[in-house]
Amino acid sequence: MTTADAKAYGAVPQEAVGLDVQDHVDVADYQTIGEPYVENAKMSARNVNVYYGEKQAIMDVSLDIGENEVLSMIGPSGCGKSTFLRSLNRMNDIIPICRVHGDIQLDGEDIYGSGQDTVLLRARVGMVFQKPNPFPKSIYENVAYGPRIHGLAHSKAEMDEIVETSLRRASLWEEVKDVLDQPGTGLSGGQQQRLCIARAIAVSPEVILMDEPCSALDPIATARIEELIDELKERFTIAIVTHSMQQAARVSQRTAYFHLGKLIEVGDTKQIFTMPRHELTENYITGRFG
């Protein structure tokens, strides 16, 4: 990609930076700046292309997520970061017109391979969504949902323990231990999101994908979730999509910058935010657009 191209993209108003624009992008000659590969990769994507019908949303992205690291993905709206995240646990399968090409591996195993079971995959690669979405069930049942489906507990006592451990890890236990039978929908927004995190970690996933988990929360609740992410990385590998650059800078070790379906730059979070090497990255993080 040339500088002239980049200027042209920069001039596109944000509302128009969507899937439509990408039809005119020449994929052939772009190259990700920085080091997309790591040594201890938990998940690795190679030459991933994602299409919604005729439109290409992700173009030839190759990226590793290292074991026990937090990788943040940033970029303007419509840049494909959520699409990429959702292809990591095949949530895109729900959308009938969506096709994923390329190779995505979890522990060296192709997750789009013919023998792969999406049910097991999603148990290993959990997801936390943008809007807190607890089930209209009790707090206990929300957390117990996954373990029940996957048969992880063989007795009431085991289930109780899974629920307590998960809620503790999501640092929600102290707040809800006396009201476990109350509906999860009755909690505050931040508590609901931590409940969703507890629900996701109750099935002991290896990777947790977070799709803008704090965008519906106030700054205090956001701070708690960020602290939580910091603790969770001891046990889990985390990929987080965020619109907040401060958040990416605070929680992640590596940062990937997406632009119009392309992975423009990836690298150490500190380097990305202090010395971006690509002009688009620099424009974005300095707030010139996006």
Partner 1 sequence: MQTSTVFLTLLALCVVSFFVGRHKSRLIGMAGGGLQSLHSLPTHYGYMAALWAGLPALLLFVVWLAVEGSVVRSLVIASLPAEVRAQGVDQLGLYYNQLVGHAVGNIEPASLDATQLAASAVYNEVMNYSRNLKMLLVCLVAIIGGMLAVMRVKPDLRARNHVESIFTWILFSCSFIAVLTTLGIVLSVLFEAIRFFQAISITDFLFGLQWSPQMAIRADQVGASGSFGFVPLLVGTLLISAVAMLIAVPVGLMSAIYLSEYASRRFRSITKPVLEILAGVPTVVYGFFAALTVAPFIRNLGESVGLSVASESALAAGLVMGIMIIPFVMSLSDDIISAVPDTMREASLGMGATMSETIRKVLLPAALPGIVGGILLAVSRAIGETMIVVMAAGLSAKLTINPLEAVTTITVQIVTLLVGDQEFDSPKTLAAFALGLVLFFVTLLLNVIALYVVRKYREQYE
Residues forming contacts to partner 1 in the complex (CB under 8 A) are 89, 91, 94, 96, 118-123, 126-127, 129, 131, 133-137, 145-146, 149-150, 183, 185, 196, 199-200, 203
**Rounded (10°) CA dihedral 52, 126, 61, 6:** 80
- Give buried/exposed letters for 109-144 (b at 16+ CB in 10 A, else e): eebbeeeeeeeebbbbbbbbbbebebeeebbbbbbb
- Reduce the DSSP state of residue 149 to 3 states and report it: helix
Instruction: Fill in the DSSP letter of residue 183.
Output: B
Question: Shortest Cβ distance from residue 134 to partner 1 (Å)?
Answer: 8
Question: Shortest Cβ distance from residue 123 to partner 1 (Å)?
Answer: 4
The residue among 209 and 249 lying less far from partner 1, judged by its C-beta, is: 209
The residue among 27 and 97 lying less far from partner 1, judged by its C-beta, is: 97
- Reduce the DSSP state of residue 8 to 3 states and report it: helix
The residue among 10 and 183 lying less far from partner 1, judged by its C-beta, is: 183
Question: Shortest Cβ distance from residue 119 to partner 1 (Å)?
Answer: 5
- Reduce the DSSP state of residue 73 to 3 states and report it: strand
How far is Cα 173 from Cα 166, in angstroms, rounded to an integer? 8
How far is Cα 241 from Cα 71, in angstroms, rounded to an integer? 9
Question: CB of 132 within 8 A of CB of 198?
Answer: no
How far is Cα 48 from Cα 100, in angstroms, rounded to an integer? 7
Angle (CA) 168-118-45 rounded to 5° is 90
How far is Cα 49 from Cα 177, in angstroms, rounded to an integer? 45
The residue among 65 and 249 lying less far from partner 1, judged by its C-beta, is: 65
Question: Shortest Cβ distance from residue 22 to partner 1 (Å)?
Answer: 25
Question: Shortest Cβ distance from residue 149 to partner 1 (Å)?
Answer: 5
Question: Shortest Cβ distance from residue 181 to partner 1 (Å)?
Answer: 15
Nearest to 242 by CA among 279, 198, 273: 273
Question: Shortest Cβ distance from residue 163 to partner 1 (Å)?
Answer: 14
The residue among 68 and 133 lying less far from partner 1, judged by its C-beta, is: 133
The token duo for 16 is: 């128009």
Question: Shortest Cβ distance from residue 200 to partner 1 (Å)?
Answer: 7
Q: Residue 275's Cα: distance from chain center in Å?
A: 24
